Structure 1
């Protein structure tokens, strides 16, 4: 196997390109090398890196993630974002990573093609993104189709397209989208590097609105299934395929719940942990939450999904051979838990037809869907409470958020229409909705001019001066942790109460495990075996698992050394945490004396206890990821 990592440097301003080689050992993959390149160019060039792990193209399922790294425009620090399946075709370029710098003179498409030769052919072609985004099928989907239709014939094998939408131009949380093409047509299993706003970075910093890539290079990928099966038998007494099938049960179909995918399994197990109406539900009592969950989610929203998607087996992969078939569909609409949660119950939408329309509008615009839903639900609550008027936001109506009288179909449809109007207003910067510098900046500005209650209702994680991130949609303390990277699962997201200092340590440990996956380009849906087996695989193939793990831990420490997390700026964050702890005590019967001590501390001095809790988490993180000599 190759012991060199090849990076194709491309300057979008001059179209100059070159290949740089890095030895395996000091570097192992797109995260640790991406961090090195980002730091090396700091102060001179803003770089966006994307590439695969060393096992791309191998027989290991889930090993073809395309990993993006760089300074995130919305988080305000180094970030890692992953896209499913897109690394399989990238591997045909014969390089491991692209490092993009410079700014194209006009909006352009970056074409990367390797047709047998020794070098990747690099072309920058100007396009009119606004004209393309305005054409059918709209936004990012129109961009993918336009680029594929114009350049695909130049490739010997089917290429893949990365594209951004108008959200990349208007905000700092635009995403990068891609979808597998089959028989010359796009599939509906679109994949996203959503978190971190790298679509905004690609477009606003580099003036690139799409990348099309592919080639015919045949690398020395690991393909010996008999050898791999023996490794798996030694650890699990099962072959690779059998273990992977077992590990991906949740994402395919879990007979324990009669459903599958992140949407099906998560909503089947939520119960009273449901978060709805911009997290207002964390302030309710348990009977109110469970009643709403049963009436609107279990008996309607989830039921629709199970009947339409699971029963009819509408599912696909992300573009690589994989038994998880995690892309759950209903026709053209792909159903994942977190987007259909933030632009579902969090916005007051509990009907699949309404959620499909709202999610599709956000996806076509090219938003990070989780952050988009968090922003929309916040704006809807401001309208509901009279803190902002419809004309302030360029919309015509107020949300229907009466939980007790909520009509699952009619009120969901109304709220989805309002959400789509808000998306259009964000893209057009109507009224006060200028999100070019991010939602945290907007919240700060509106709190000063219209009243502090506006900012107190926006649930987000703050980083550096203007960085922000809508948290992952799991009601636990870990989701609000002061980690150097948030919005991904670089934190402990179990539902048990853990004292904050220990939570910080668990967060750090989880970050290290996730970095193992990301640096090798593995999909985390395969973590049931990949986290354990990754060091063994590295040892068998490259003979130095100890060095690999050393680099991973050092990378975690280096990322943490850039940790500029800021204490929660929203009062609703404190509601979120305190509600979680009280539910653990009062509903689940947790008798942990530390839990009781913290609840009493919050009741005596809410803000002071919150600051103490936050810093205790931070201490646990730092003492785990800091190396003392």
Structure 2
């Protein structure tokens, strides 16, 4: 039977050990992470306590011939939600698995910023070293190195300084940027390396970003980078490693050719001929059209005819230039760093563009010129931010200044933004890009009192700013939380949603901010909506725990049990995933971070306006009559139905 192996590393002392588990006991990285967090009782500690843990690992199929099986999954206690969060980066597991273990658990705190080296040999982990760097040196690198700043500068410095080790290990460094040390919005980042040219592979930058895992790695453990790789090859059956045997076994399982099955299931992410583009950026804009969230989600208040005019501008000035250069003129595509026919990374002028970061630092902040958005995404990435989450922060601050809750100088700006969607002038809106750049830099630098507060988290900042500017809040009649979207957790936690106009990201679920939900832009009876939420939460958890890319879910979900049988694990995957989901829910309760009803007016309106958009007459009347009661009824009924389907305890929904 295949074993799942985890390296337990204490970066305070440098001590380490390897634990092994039968695959039926530990199917993947979420399993082992929950075991470790349970053992350490991390729910009882501060998020940035050194006795916390950041678990970074692959699924059991890393090292196989399965396309998409090399995601690196990161599980940690989030400084945003205050409970367990799961974040993933594509492709990085392809190099990582050579280090000799499936996962690394980072524990303790280094006295100085640490660079962890884990080298694998033929029999497993051969060497573990911790190189420590003075903070002044790390800051110097972050300020600029070889044309890069932040996280990219650190990775390039590591490549240049430790090239002999990195190239011999064929390692892909995993790093954090200054945003991880200075805010709660820090991502974990890795850019793939071209070992023949000693340079980055354009477009193959990947991020385990949602939830602030980079901030925990930096602030709790003082780990700036992990370099893991080597010559170890996992002990997997020939049906998964030998090319001929693999294709034969997959055809028997799928009933048809493997590559054909993959191509059919990944049309959106590879290339959709009906649209003439591919990838999330290429497909989502022409697909969602008037349902796109624009101007900090204020588009939900606009008539459909106005939204159509805005979308026409987006398609012409934001989407079309990418389609022309990256699809019509040349196929500027690459992979996340592992062999895969999908090549979902669509590159425009040297930068990978996905829908959510592009919308976060584009139309959601009123920027409709793709070249301006591209530069903002690159800045956010290099500083080491979660681009999706920081987009909400920037949009919220811009709207707060626009509506006079804040003065420009209080967030380091020299003028007011333009957040008026009715203007229909992309040049006038473009000032927002310059202001967004100042905010991104100001958050890392802590340039104003307000930005230093915001760096600690959105929900915390809302409460602080309501008190600081109580006269403005009273005179304007708007609280800070009314202008930003988040799902609240406990008294302090929160999670910002993904960029879809849907109730699915604003439900009191154990894990939000990722696709473990129904993210369809629609509105229906709560029990009907809940069925899809519960099903997708479990299926997406299974894919995450397997270390498979969710872009491959179309074919992979159908055969996961048979794949596990190949490594000796005969389990009921749905029941196993439900058990894991319940463990996360129990963790929320123990951490005093149980999710609550949405508390901001715009968050409530995301749900209420959908009843109007889809002409659901009964619910539209309820929302117009008493929005508070109707929101509570819809969410309470939905979460009860979800809890019953997943078998969450009654305590989960009874007080919602």
Q: TM-score, normalised by structure 2?
A: 0.91
- Is it true that 1:186 corresponds to 2:200 in the alignment? yes
1:299-318 counterparts in 2 under 5 A?
Answer: 299-311=316-328, 312-318=330-336
In the alignment, which residue of structure 1 is the partner of 2:36? 37
CA–CA distance in structure 1, aligned partners of residues 398 and 252 of structure 2: 55
1:136-535 counterparts in 2 under 5 A?
Answer: 136=145, 137-155=148-166, 156-182=168-194, 183-188=197-202, 189-221=204-236, 222-234=240-252, 236-294=254-312, 296-311=313-328, 312-408=330-426, 410-431=427-448, 432-434=450-452, 435-450=454-469, 451=473, 452-535=478-561
Mark the CA change 1:228 to 1:550 in structure 2 (over 3 Å): closer, same or farther. Answer: farther
Shift of 1:531: 0.7
In the alignment, which residue of structure 2 is the partner of 1:60? 66
User: What RMSD, in angstroms, separates the aligned Cα atoms of the two structures?
Assistant: 1.8
Shift of 1:148: 1.9
In the alignment, which residue of structure 1 is the partner of 2:570? 544
Q: Structure 1: 5+ residue runs without aligned partners?
A: 586-594
Deviates more, 1:148-157 or 1:134-143: 148-157
Deviates more, 1:162-171 or 1:110-119: 110-119
Deviates more, 1:424-433 or 1:600-609: 424-433
Counterpart of 1:320 in 2: which secondary structure?
A: coil
Mark the CA change 1:367 to 1:628 in structure 2 (over 3 Å): closer, same or farther. Answer: closer
CA–CA distance in structure 2, aligned partners of residues 602 and 526 of structure 1: 39
Shift of 1:483: 1.0
**1:536 and 1:545 in contact (8 A); partners too:** no
- Is it true that 1:580 corresponds to 2:610 in the alignment? yes
- Is it true that 1:625 corresponds to 2:631 in the alignment? no
**2:78 and 2:212 in contact (8 A); partners too:** yes
Shift of 1:411: 3.1
CA–CA distance in structure 1, aligned partners of residues 642 and 100 of structure 2: 38
CA–CA distance in structure 1, aligned partners of residues 494 and 520 of structure 2: 23
CA–CA distance in structure 1, aligned partners of residues 278 and 635 of structure 2: 35
Shift of 1:196: 1.2
Mark the CA change 1:615 to 1:120 in structure 2 (over 3 Å): closer, same or farther. Answer: farther
CA–CA distance in structure 1, aligned partners of residues 84 and 125 of structure 2: 30
Counterpart of 2:587 in 1: which secondary structure?
A: coil
**1:52 and 1:87 in contact (8 A); partners too:** yes
**1:560 and 1:625 in contact (8 A); partners too:** no
Counterpart of 1:288 in 2: which secondary structure?
A: helix
In the alignment, which residue of structure 2 is the partner of 1:6? 5
Shift of 1:402: 3.3
Counterpart of 1:13 in 2: which secondary structure?
A: coil
Deviates more, 1:57-66 or 1:455-464: 455-464
Counterpart of 1:8 in 2: which secondary structure?
A: strand
Deviates more, 1:261-270 or 1:450-459: 450-459
Q: TM-score, normalised by structure 1?
A: 0.95
After superposition, give the CA deviation of every residue in 1:357-382 in whole Å (9 maximum; x if it has no partner). Answer: 11111111111100100110111111
CA–CA distance in structure 1, aligned partners of residues 569 and 381 of structure 2: 43
Counterpart of 2:462 in 1: which secondary structure?
A: helix
**2:101 and 2:125 in contact (8 A); partners too:** no
In the alignment, which residue of structure 1 is the partner of 2:115? 109
Shift of 1:231: 4.8
Give 2:138's match in structure 1, choosing from 129, 134, 144. 129
In the alignment, which residue of structure 2 is the partner of 1:590? none
After superposition, give the CA deviation of every residue in 1:151-207 in whole Å (9 maximum; x if it has no partner). Answer: 231242421111111111111110011011002111222000010100000000000
Deviates more, 1:464-473 or 1:332-341: 464-473
Shift of 1:519: 1.1
CA–CA distance in structure 2, aligned partners of residues 429 and 115 of structure 1: 44
CA–CA distance in structure 1, aligned partners of residues 537 and 4 of structure 2: 23
Shift of 1:549: 4.0
Q: Structure 2: 5+ residue runs without aligned partners?
A: 46-50, 589-593, 651-656
Counterpart of 1:82 in 2: which secondary structure?
A: strand
**1:111 and 1:213 in contact (8 A); partners too:** yes
CA–CA distance in structure 2, aligned partners of residues 152 and 488 of structure 1: 35
Counterpart of 1:440 in 2: which secondary structure?
A: helix
Counterpart of 2:400 in 1: which secondary structure?
A: helix
After superposition, give the CA deviation of every residue in 1:84-117 in whole Å (9 maximum; x if it has no partner). Answer: 0000111111211111100001111111112446
**1:26 and 1:551 in contact (8 A); partners too:** no
**1:347 and 1:373 in contact (8 A); partners too:** yes
